[in-house]
Structure 1
Amino acid sequence: MGYCHYYSYDPTNPRFDSVWPKIVADTDRIIARVRNAGIRIGNCLAGNAQWAGVDFIALDGDSDDLAGPGLVIFREVPPTYWSQPRNGSISEVIKTGRRPYDLAVTAVLLRCQMLLPAAFAIYSDGAWDEEWLFGATGPFPGGLGARAVVAELFGDAPTACPFDRERALLL
């Protein structure tokens, strides 16, 4: 299937509503930092000018050669969305193929897991001490990986791997 990240989240979790504004604000900061590193980010939901907002987070690469499947996280899953929650949770796979926008995807996933560990699970084909530390395509300018971006912006990042295969692969 290629280089993928797996995530599962439960928007019905009692803390999800109260933490959602922080997730949106932190996603905006992550995207700004990644764009400042020269990585172009697009919005994978057609017709939307923003990456994060009241209802969703949606991002991917910003050109035909850099784009790939998008990261989508809904505050409330629309009834028309192709993947509906099971037992309150929604699970997704995003195949970034090691494209540059992988940095934004992994940093957002890591931050969500940090803010809502009981409601957000992640797993990855990338190694915690390699791709998540140095980036999926090798060191970016400044050696940026998801862990470095999160630590730089928010003052901390886990050193122990938070991957939870069973919870993240609720597909």
Structure 2
Amino acid sequence: MLRPFFIILALAASGGGALAQGAQVAFGGMQQDTKLPVEVSADSLSVNQADGTALYTGNVVIGQGEMRLAAPRVLVVYAESAGRIERLEATGGVTLVNGDEAAEAERADYNIDAGTVVMTGNVLLTQGGNALTSESMTVNLESGTAQMSGRVRTVLQQSDNP
């Protein structure tokens, strides 16, 4: 997993950076069909029939289409209608990847019906050579956009072409 401090330090040392209070970014690579099946693998699983949850722990990897989410712990909350996942709550250091775009945070909450992923705590978004950091980011998987908030810092790599 990438270490946000070292990446930001390296990018800051290479020059350039813009600071803002909030930013909306294109997140086209994260555009996702939220109706696709969700596949989960982990070291262990604990199911609670009483509250309709399943707790996956240890090397958890979740896939839906081209999107992959990895975390040490993921709580799956099922809707009242049996067998349908309502939301996923990933904690302990989360990585969300699709193509050359990746995002990291301390926590991610994926609401499948709404088609949103809310990442919080030291968010780092990389898109190719560019990086953005903030305290929170809400990704809309249907539109392929993300809204970042909480002291946003952006490092954009300059093109060699004039």
TM-score (norm 2): 0.29
Structure with greater contact order relative to length (CA < 8 Å, sep ≥ 6) = 1
- Which has the higher Rg, Structure 1 or Structure 2? 2
Structure with the largest fraction of strand: 2
Structure with the largest fraction of helix: 1
